[in-house]
A and B are shown apart, each in its own frame.
Chain A
Amino acid sequence: GAVVSQHPSWVICKSGTSVKIECRSLDFQATTMFWYRQFPKQSLMLMATSNEGSKATYEQGVEKDKFLINHASLTLSTLTVTSAHPEDSSFYICSALSDSFDSYEQYFGPGTRLTVT
């Protein structure tokens, strides 16, 4: 299957700093990428949908000025958590949509575990 990478796999940062997470589709082009967040013992929650070359669309309750998303190419989307606080500590997972003649599926990255101290 298709491969999606995320970097970093884990990060610890101090409260008030910003953290950038990268999501790359390694062997296919993805017009659409998604960012999810998963708190312990909870389900994955969609934060935003990122379309290459246009602004991301954010789910209700997700602050677009706090979670900056850039999707500048067909293989890379970035999520920047600005002015991080301990309540932002979570597992952030991206996915990339493969939409070809024989496949229509979201492929997930391995996730980034963010801890804000």
Chain B
Amino acid sequence: RKEVEQDPGPFNVPEGATVAFNCTYSNSASQSFFWYRQDCRKEPKLLMSVYSSGNEDGRFTAQLNRASQYISLLIRDSKLSDSATYLCVVRGLSNFGNEKLTFGTGTRLTIIP
């Protein structure tokens, strides 16, 4: 089983629609959770952290359920510029005790005009 699993998509949705991504993680000792965005042939960029209480940043809402080891991202009123691959990322410790980010394979989103 992969450490971080995401639906690879692709998701093709019309501009203005709401879209939701899900993610599950296997390591219950994971400490922190994030959503990153990666554009084609570019580095990943932090979109937002994810907290147990749920958090919102403009059109983006993230939720974390530690009991279910489940993370979600909701994008409302989607824009053309939201087209990208969204990466679910979990932070924990490696076998050496170092910080380690584990990335999901990403969900590809295309917003259609």
Chain A complexes with chain B: yes
Q: Which residues of A contact B (CB under 8 A)?
A: 32, 34, 41-46, 49, 51, 57, 59-60, 91, 93, 95, 97, 105-106, 108-111, 113
Minimum CB–CB distance from B11 to chain A (whole Å) comes to: 15
SS class, residues of chain A in contact with chain B: strand
Judge if B100 is at the interface, Cβ distance under 8 Å: yes
7 closest A-B pairs by beta carbon, nearest first, are A108-B43, A43-B103, A43-B105, A44-B103, A49-B98, A57-B96, A111-B43
Q: Which residues of B contact A (CB under 8 A)?
A: 4, 41-46, 87, 94-96, 98-106
The answer to whether B96 and A46 touch across the interface, beta carbons within 8 angstroms, is no
Q: Give Cα A51–Cα B96 distance, bound, in whole angstroms.
A: 12
The answer to whether B44 and A44 touch across the interface, beta carbons within 8 angstroms, is yes
Minimum CB–CB distance from B13 to chain A (whole Å) comes to: 20
The answer to whether A49 and B42 touch across the interface, beta carbons within 8 angstroms, is no
Q: Give Cα A113–Cα B45 distance, bound, in whole angstroms.
A: 17
